[in-house]
Chain A
């Protein structure tokens, strides 16, 4: 017997032990540790996003405002690159060799195996040329996207713009991935979830060189992109366009509302810009240029500009006075060139005196409304000026001032109505009374009202006491209803009989011997009120609020012309022309219209 025969067991044991160790290791990497499975998926699957077309935006009459156009991103996969004719490549795409170098380096930094965007949004023409020559440039391929296209250069601010989702958004909302588009302002932002649709994905199998080898499980897990929902806005494209045409040389805004529904018919913010500037590759450069413009074209005035309301505010003071019983249609105040208190005087223009309420509204007598305001605030019933002011303040707030209306246009501001506290701080508690704040009576002072709030006041008066929250979207395709908040009727603390008195004054302002006579139309009874707001930025703002026709009003609007001087000079003609345009579709006063174009900015 071989003396070492027992060593066969040691050798067998070594074999068995090795195999056992290997089996344990295999069990670990194949069964227990799941990270290899994820790595394998990352390795071999390429998720190709199918970008849905964004919803189309229409006006109230079904006219297309914003739609989509195919755009082409050139993608690069660094590992597939082969040396190529850079000069020809650069000429094809109209880029510099430095751009090529820099972007290939960037792409390499991201991943040499995965594709990243090399050149964004080339035009269909460039794409057609490039596609023919693409075989010469392995490693490059084209991904189709859609870009916004605009029928007319209107309503840039309302529509807003679309851009790439930034890191913050991506972190917060997992739906968005690098390079995805998202609505950044306007209704593109507020209706983002409706407009964006749903991305789809094609899962492709790729080899180590990132060459597509087929679809994963025959496309069983692929999803198709669902196009975004089309929006029908309440905007009237031709009215919007006409407003922008009239104000082309002005700064300011027009907000026009259909009083019976709260639908916004036009929302002009001047100066404006071509919405097409903020799409595509040149967006960043154009945006920077717009931002530098001293006229602030990016500033969305209808919801963000806070102006003193000027004399238009007399309408609200009238309602409060009537409601509080300190004013009646027969109340008369005399005006001796203004309102005298102490050794000071709040001036008024030259007009007959004394006046009754209707005439005071029509002629816009300052002294009259100073008296009205004083009798509200100093009403003995309340015991103190503070209490009286608080009452006044509550009415103003109830009317929709000093807070956001919560429309569907983003970036709305609150505006400002000073509180009792504010004056206590400013003058010292009990050291102020109606005279200290008398300028509120004529809509001056600390008041800050946005044009949309002003237009809403016009709509409320037109409705004789109620309003619907102004909004620009009327219908979302695939939905039966828009947000219920736009169907909710908001009432004010004043009876409709009180409104009738105000309406009569407004009618007289336009059709009687009033301040807005220039706005009169023979066949449409327009009711309106002018305003001239002093402001720290130079010449007075020219303001006009109006609605028409007097009964069953179809349109209510507010017009602001910054530094335009008297309300009657610029704002009234614009308001009147807008009303005529909307109600009749044509303009009977071309001379008045042309005069609007002669405006010269005084900045």
Chain B
């Protein structure tokens, strides 16, 4: 036994453990500062959040130790079992969960709360790793897509029903894992472009977007294929149709919007292009035209989605972020106060416990989602750089760790960990500094609360366990 423990200790990546402990302790100190109470100065006072966070941290350390001590098979063999259990919990929470801020995402047992979505991330990562490690996955097999889609999509669907936009978004982080495992970059690029299109279609007029799509399409086709003659003919067809429709609209006093005319002409001429591509066997033209048509369709549907599918508060948050709505005492109040808190920190910060914006509740949720404000206000640019730097160090360390795994299971899992951390940090910090909309997700190891601290600990320490046994796995 002694021998085995020594082995275990030597196999563990202690640098990561140290970074983890440092981040957790910095987080604890900042929670103390954020909700500091003159009457309860003791950081160990259990009646305060910093006191209870200490218990949660102690528990997290115990959990970490247990994970290192238990048999690896618990996670590798029973990955699907854990996944299934989490899916059941996600279903259960929809029925018996407690509604907090409009979302039914919490189990509450006495004073103790548990958020299954946090743990579902770990289970999903394990299940994904199990599936992708089980056979030689190729991304040209449609059944692969379907199974991966189910593994990631099922918890997303259940979280959407809660609904909890923040946790939902985090599942998109698995696309980074898939990219590493060979998912064509076009998918990511396509996804990225969809995002850009989504935002621009909210910001710019439809006429401008449709014109840009069509115009850029013609130019790009001519440029990449060198078929200038065909492009010219196609453009003639398109502009002829546009003129015709415009004339009909003008004469018939139909008052059609210009973007409708352009879109309709492009759809009609697009059909003609598809016919041409079929007969002249220009496969590229077909997919290109379909891509452009899809983009136009997307632009129109974004409008619909934005105004019909999104919740009112999500719409407002999006509008604030895009600068379409200024409302410093309403929804924008949070971001505004958060930026004031961070911005007022300056280079060196106001000093420990000297923050006024966070301590006096100007910043909302200052111990959970907006804990980064305390770092910014009290420790300044130096503090924020150090914290972000530590996170970046952790991420790169995990990537390095992932690449030294021999098994696909471990690599996929490691990338899942990196991606989940990345999304959490990027969305959380991005929100506090006004770069992203206000989406309530915790900052790993910093935000007050057991579920997030424990799930991030579990996530990281399963990786450390896998890493420590990398020589035993699939040798």
Q: Which residues of A approach B to under 8 Å, CB–CB?
A: 3-5, 7-8, 10-12, 14-16, 18-19, 21-23, 25-27, 29-31, 33, 35-37, 39-41, 43-45, 205-209, 213-214
Q: Which residues of A contact B376 (CB under 8 A)?
A: 26, 30
Is B426 at the interface (CB under 8 A from chain A)? yes
- Residues 298-346 (chain B) with a chain A CB within 8 angstroms: 337, 339-346
Cα distance A206–B361 in the bound complex, in angstroms: 10
Per-residue A-contact encoding for B184-208, CB less than 8 Å = 1, 0 else: 0000000000000000000000000
- The residue on B at minimum CB distance from A44 is B356
B window 156-208: CB within 8 A of A? 176, 179-182
B403:A18 contact, CB within 8 angstroms: no
Residues of B within 8 A of A15 (CB): 392, 395-396, 399, 418, 422
Chain A residues near B347: list those with CB within 8 A.
Answer: 30-31
The docked-state distance in angstroms from the alpha carbon of A287 to that of B346 is: 53
A sample of 5 cross-chain residue pairs with beta-carbon separation below 8 angstroms, ordered by A number, consists of: A16-B392, A26-B381, A39-B340, A40-B344, A44-B357
Q: A31: which B residues are within 8 A, CB to CB?
A: 346-347, 381
By the criterion of a CB under 8 Å from any partner CB, how many residues of chain B are at the interface? Answer: 46
Interface code B351-388, partner A: CB below 8 Å = 1, 0 otherwise? Answer: 00000110111100000000000001100110011001
Q: Indicate whether A36 sits within 8 Å of B435 (C-beta atoms), given known contacts A8-B399, A11-B180, A30-B345.
A: no
A43 and B340 contacting across the interface, CB-CB below 8 Å: yes
Q: Give the CA-CA distance A3 to B182 in the complex, in Å.
A: 8
Q: Is the CB of A209 within 8 A of B361?
A: yes
Central interface residue in A22, A35, A213, by most chain B CB within 10 Å? A22
Per the bound structure, the CA–CA distance linking A33 and B340 in Å amounts to 10
Whether A206 pairs with B360 at a CB distance below 8 angstroms is yes
Cβ A22 vs Cβ B381 within 8 A: no
Are A19 and B388 neighbours in the complex by a CB distance under 8 Å? yes
Chain B positions within 8 Å of A29 at CB level: 339, 342-343, 433-434
Residues in B whose Cβ lies below 8 Å from that of A205:
356, 360
B54, chain A: closest CB distance, angstroms? 25
Q: Is the CB of B343 within 8 A of A18?
A: no
Residue of B whose beta carbon sits closest to that of A113 = B329
A562 to B160, CA, bound (A): 92
Known interface pairs A12-B396, A19-B392; A7-B179 also in contact (CB < 8 Å): yes
Q: Report B-chain residues with C-beta under 8 Å of the C-beta of A14.
A: 176, 422
B396 touching A43, Cβ below 8 Å: no
Assess whether B294 is interfacial by the CB under 8 Å rule: no
A206 CA to B399 CA, complexed, in Å: 46
> Which of B360, B395, B402, B430 is close to A44, meaning CB atoms less than 8 Å apart?
B360
- B356 near A40: Cβ-Cβ < 8 Å: yes
Q: Are A208 and B360 in contact, with the CB atoms below 8 A?
A: yes
Q: Which residues of A contact B388 (CB under 8 A)?
A: 19, 22-23, 26
B377-417 near A? 1/0 per residue, CB < 8 Å: 10011001100110110011001001100000000000100
Which of B343, B361, B402 has a CB less than 8 Å from the CB of A30?
A: B343
Residues of A within 8 A of B33 (CB): none
A4-B181, A37-B346 known; 8 new pairs, CB 8 Å cut-off, are A10-B179, A11-B176, A29-B342, A30-B346, A36-B340, A40-B377, A205-B356, A207-B359
Q: Within B135-169, which residues are at the interface with A (CB < 8 Å)?
A: none
**Is B362 a contact partner of A208 (Cβ separation < 8 A)?**
yes
Smallest Cβ-Cβ distance to B415: which chain A residue: A11
Q: Is the CB of B343 within 8 A of A40?
A: yes
Known: A8-B399, A19-B392, A36-B339. A26 touches B356 (CB 8 A): no
CB of B169 to closest CB in A, whole Å: 15
Residues of B within 8 A of A21 (CB): 435
Contact B176 A37 (CB under 8 A): no
| Chain A residues, CB < 8 A from B179 | 7, 10-11
Minimum Cβ distance to chain B for residue A10 (Å): 8
B43 contacts partner chain A, Cβ-Cβ < 8 Å: no
- Of B342, B385, B392, which one neighbours A36 at CB under 8 angstroms? B342
User: Contact at A37–B343, with CB atoms within 8 Å?
Assistant: yes
* CB within 8 Å of A: which B425-459 residues: 426, 429-430, 433-435
Which of A3, A10, A22, A45 lies in contact with B435, CB distance below 8 A?
Answer: A22
CB-nearest residue of chain A relative to B433? A25
Give A22 to B361 CA distance when docked, in angstroms. 25
Instruction: Choose among B356, B399, B430 the residue that contacts A12 (Cβ–Cβ < 8 A).
Output: B399
Contact A8 B180, beta carbon cutoff 8 Å:
yes
CA distance A27 to B360 in the complex (A): 24
B347 to chain A, nearest CB (A): 6
A114 vs chain B, min Cβ distance (A): 13
Distance in angstroms between the alpha carbons of A363 and B391 in the assembled complex: 108
Which residues in B have their C-beta under 8 angstroms from that of A18?
422, 426
Do B433 and A43 touch across chains, with their CB atoms under 8 A apart?
A: no
B381→A30 contact, CB < 8 A: yes
Which chain B residues lie closer than 8 Å to A209 at the CB level?
361
Q: Which residue of B lies closest to A3 (CB)?
A: B182
B469 to chain A, nearest CB (A): 20
Known: A8-B180, A11-B399. A39 touches B344 (CB 8 A): yes
Q: Which residues of B contact A16 (CB under 8 A)?
A: 392, 396
Closest beta carbon of chain B to A198's beta carbon, Å: 28
In the assembled complex, which residues on chain B have CB atoms less than 8 Å from the CB atom of A3? 182
> In the complex where A12-B399, A19-B388, A209-B361 touch, is A37 in contact with B344 (Cβ < 8 A)?
yes
